[in-house]
Amino acid sequence: MSWSLKIGRVAGIPIFVHWTFLILLGWIMLGQWGQSRDATVALAGGLFIITLFACVVLHELGHALMAKRFGVETSAITLLPIGGVASLQRIPEHPVQELLIAAAGPMVNVVIAAVLYLALGVRFPGTVDDAVHLEQGDFWARILKVNVFLVGFNLIPAFPMDGGRMLRALLAMRLPYARATRLAASIGQALAIGFAFLGYSSNPMLMLIALFVWIGAEAEARQVEDRTALRGLRVRDAMLTEFHALKPTDTLGHAADLLLAGTQHDFPVSSPGETRFRSILTRADLMAGLAASGREGTVAGHARTELPAVEVASDLAEAVASLQEGQLSCLQVTDRDRTVGLLSLENVGECLLVRSALRGSDSAPPGPGRRLIAAEA
């Protein structure tokens, strides 16, 4: 994730902290100091936030380590002011596996709370929902209370909370995966409406949670629907086969003319005689180059140094995941170490549009000789 600082690695998984988390930490400490004018109190407030987010990291590691047991790797764990994010490379569609992965996070918080309560004798100072004790209670009592809250909050059956994924996994034991996801998302959005009404009448924070749940549920449903639509397709089915390529010695002015003359935004770069592209000039690179060097600047001075490749027979869904995770504009498509096309998210979207249109038509699909996207496999 951009604007994140790597703070360590646990079980081979890099841990990042987003810069906005540091703002939250500073804001809490400044607020504590402003109320007490005591540096010790301010440091204690900061230590509480750090300990709280250590529990969040353990929660996310629970997901990551359980996922690893099923062959699913985790790219990174990132701390944000609203919690933590474990970036799993994929979510297994086997319902039991997803159920166990989703449940592993809250179970970590259950274990932490149990150790504090049973082994260390920590007790709740007052009622669990008494917010005053989150600021004034005993340090470990507050940590106990927060872990209980994390368990309850994450078990809400709505995406993107763990409870929503657990609900989807249970539904998927009886229903197709995409349908189970849409049903779980609808339940989550119904809960979001309830949160919004409660928030309007009592606690505005619930309105923020409602928005968070609504957006997360819809995003999850759309992601699964797109992944389902890509199932069985190969990279060859969506690659771009007609495009302009540039030489390192070409001018930026020539690239700008090509940009204005067509719909291509990114231009692969290779020298004469090469069978693969070694770099790419994106539209952003081109604009920056024109601003710095003018039309006479050369492509070699502004093209990116690498254009990742994917095999023509590779699974399209995996290629899309690579594009999204790497925040790449496109991939070069190779066949026996020779570039035969380009793949971008725009191509994939057009491929899905064509497939959707063909499903709604009685006519036979076109032959394989199309240029922009390939016919159905």
Residue 376 buriedness (CB in 10 A; 0-12 / 13-18 / 19+): middle
Eight-state DSSP code of residue 231: T
Coil, strand or helix at 2:
coil
Catalytic-role residue among 60, 73, 325, 376: 60
Annotated binding site: 59, 63, 162
Tokens of 327: 């925040």
Tokens of 51: 């300990």
Tokens of 77: 């764990």
**Is 60 a known active-site residue?**
yes
Q: What are phi and psi of 334, to 5 degrees?
A: -120, 155
CA distances (Å), origin 102, targets 58, 162, 167: 14, 5, 10
Q: Are 187 and 165 in contact (CB under 8 A)?
A: no
Within 8 A by CB and 6+ apart from 133, the residues are 124, 125, 126, 141, 142, 145
User: Helices 204-230 and 316-325: crossing angle, nearest 10°?
Assistant: 140
Within 8 A by CB and 6+ apart from 65, the residues are 11, 104
Within 8 A by CB and 6+ apart from 51, the residues are 139, 143
Annotated binding site for Zn(2+): 59, 63, 162
Alpha helices in the chain (DSSP H): 19-36, 39-69, 95-114, 133-136, 139-154, 162-172, 177-201, 204-230, 252-261, 283-293, 316-325, 345-359
Tokens of 44: 């204690």
Reported as type and span, the H/E element at residue 18 is: strand 13-18
CA distance 313 to 291: 39
Q: Catalytic site residues? A: 60
